[in-house]
Amino acid sequence: MERKYFDYSATTPVDSEVLNEMLPYFNNDFGNPSSVYSYGRDSKKAIENARYKIAKLINADAREIFFTGGGTESDNWAIKGIAIALKNKGNHIITSSIEHHAVLHSCKYLEKHGFRVTYLPVDKYGLISLEDLKSEINDRTILITIMFANNEIGTIQPIKEIGKIAKENNIYFHTDGVQAIGNTVIDVKDMNIDLLSISAHKIYGPKGIGALYIKKGIKIDPIIHGGAQERKKRAGTENVPGIVGFGKAAEIAYNNLDKNIQDLTNLRDKLIKGIFDNIDYVILNGHPHNRLPGNVNISFQFIEGEALLLSLDMVGICGSSGSACTSGTLDPSHVLLAIGLSHEIAHGSLRLSIGKYTKEEDIDYLLQELPKIIKRLRNMSPLYEKVKGGE
């Protein structure tokens, strides 16, 4: 059975062009970038070349890009590194209630060490309120960290406006751009972003490599201590093939950004429309248009998400869900609860995320299989029975 992949928000396959650029750095050009002989110099050059390409994608200077072990490390570094560097200035951080766990758990950790964190609520579309943000700022506030685009519901925040507020109040602004990069325009200068977390594996690069953009002049402590790599800010021998792959992936993303956004938006809207036309009792989660071009998140009433994922898997379709039964805990996703969904509606959520290898036929196939599956599961559901009067 052919597999149809609808989980690009979880991760993406490495583009073969990216892989080809990486391969020589595993064996032929294996040198340690810190060494002085030619092997080392070649690796060093490759790193700087990648740094330049990544900077270009977000309109930064190459010297403002620092490589990390992925989006999670970038988030940890931005938040803990700023908190420690500015601890004499203040102890208050503002974030949102729908952040990725890399941000939320970093904030929780800091709360145990004397910092205060405000978790801004979001509206039913997943947007924070700029008025709320302004009113929570006080003279102890040292950092605002609000994600660019949400990984579950795809909602894109008003980043430029948040950046403006942060700047007016002289507070550092970090944003988790892991889902946004390559899927929407990111301009750190225009948007007044001080720190930006990004990761390669969401843009057809390898896993385990990411970067933190740190605007020139920002005060931040390292959290990984050791050698003098990354201008003494992030120790450890560089993941050279990973960095090279990230650079190539960023270059491809930059060259295809507009087309990628347009193509994905068209497919996404076809998918959403197809579901709404063919299945009743459905709810679109997230913002109707301020959302990632590849994100669809829909709740199917009266059924549970894990049963839906298993059924889809049996016909070769890979998706994800915010149901409690997929999380290993007793609670559904914090994002779905934050936008005000009841437990029941959150349980029936399905995230379908598409990417550059998604074909129109894949959407057609999904639209052919999904209604049958929903019908089968609803016919088993005591909740549906109540609505349909035991039909």
Ligand X SMILES: Cc1ncc(COP(=O)(O)O)c(C=O)c1O
Of residues 54, 307, 363, 373, which one binds other proteins by CB under 8 A?
Answer: 307
Tell the smallest beta-carbon distance from residue 27 to ligand X (Å). 25
Say if strands 116-120 and 317-318 run parallel, antiparallel, or are unpaired: unpaired
Q: In this structure, what are the phi and psi dihedrals at residue 6, rounded to the nearest 5 degrees?
A: -125, 45
Say if strands 141-145 and 116-120 run parallel, antiparallel, or are unpaired: unpaired
**Contact between 330 and other proteins per CB under 8 A:** yes
**Contact between 342 and other proteins per CB under 8 A:** yes
**Contact between 179 and ligand X per CB under 6 A:** yes
Size of the chain, expressed as the number of residues it contains: 391
Tell the smallest beta-carbon distance from residue 209 to ligand X (Å). 8
**Contact between 70 and ligand X per CB under 6 A:** yes
Tell me the two tokens of residue 48. 């700087």
**Contact between 245 and ligand X per CB under 6 A:** no
What is the rounded CA–CA span in Å between residue 227 and residue 234? Answer: 8
Identify the three-state secondary structure at position 120.
Answer: strand
Q: Which is nearer to ligand X, 179 or 358 (CB)?
A: 179
Interface characters, 195-234, with ligand X (x: CB under 6 A): ----x-x--------x------------------------
- Binder of residue 355, out of Zn ion, ligand X, other proteins, none (CB less than 5 to 8 A by kind): none
Say if strands 317-318 and 195-199 run parallel, antiparallel, or are unpaired: unpaired
What does each C-alpha distance from 130 to 46, 122, 153, 175 come to in angstroms?
41, 10, 20, 15
**Contact between 383 and Zn ion per CB under 5 A:** no
Tell the smallest beta-carbon distance from residue 304 to other proteins (Å). 5
Tell the smallest beta-carbon distance from residue 363 to other proteins (Å). 25
- Where do we find the tokens 């952040």? 99
Contacts of 56 (CB under 8 A, 6+ apart): 250, 251, 254
Q: Which is nearer to ligand X, 91 or 96 (CB)?
A: 96
Active site residues: 325
How many residues belong to the site for ligand X (CB under 6 A)?
14
- Binder of residue 210, out of Zn ion, ligand X, other proteins, none (CB less than 5 to 8 A by kind): ligand X
Q: Which is nearer to ligand X, 119 or 302 (CB)?
A: 119
Contacts of 52 (CB under 8 A, 6+ apart): 62, 247
What is the rounded CA–CA span in Å between residue 195 and residue 197? Answer: 7
DSSP state letter for 148 = S
Tell the smallest beta-carbon distance from residue 356 to ligand X (Å). 17
Tell the smallest beta-carbon distance from residue 363 to ligand X (Å). 23
**Contact between 303 and other proteins per CB under 8 A:** yes
**Contact between 178 and ligand X per CB under 6 A:** yes
Tell the smallest beta-carbon distance from residue 308 to other proteins (Å). 9
Window 90-149: residues binding ligand X (CB under 6 A): 100, 102, 147
CB 322 within 8 A of CB 126: no
Identify the three-state secondary structure at position 115.
Answer: coil
Using Cβ positions, the residue closest to ligand X within the complex turns out to be 71
How many residues belong to the site for Zn ion (CB under 5 A)?
1
Closest CA to 74 of 201, 166, 186, 199: 199
Q: Which range binds other proteins by CB under 8 A, 35-43, 192-200, 265-273, 303-311? A: 303-311
What does each C-alpha distance from 123 to 18, 54, 97, 98, 341 come to in angstroms?
39, 33, 11, 11, 11
DSSP state letter for 141 = E
CB 216 within 8 A of CB 61: yes
Of residues 10, 315, 325, 367, which one binds other proteins by CB under 8 A?
Answer: 325
- Binder of residue 71, out of ligand X, other proteins, Zn ion, none (CB less than 5 to 8 A by kind): ligand X
Q: In this structure, what are the phi and psi dihedrals at residue 107, rounded to the nearest 5 degrees?
A: -65, -45
Window 317-356: residues binding Zn ion (CB under 5 A): 325
What is the rounded CA–CA span in Å between residue 200 and residue 150? Answer: 17
Q: Which range binds other proteins by CB under 8 A, 90-98, 172-180, 205-213, 375-383? A: 375-383
Contacting residues toward ligand X, per CB under 6 A: 70-72, 75, 100, 102, 147, 151, 176, 178-179, 199, 201, 210
Q: Where along the sequence are the contacts to other proteins (CB under 8 A)?
A: 302-307, 310, 314, 323-326, 328, 330, 342-344, 347, 379-383, 385, 390
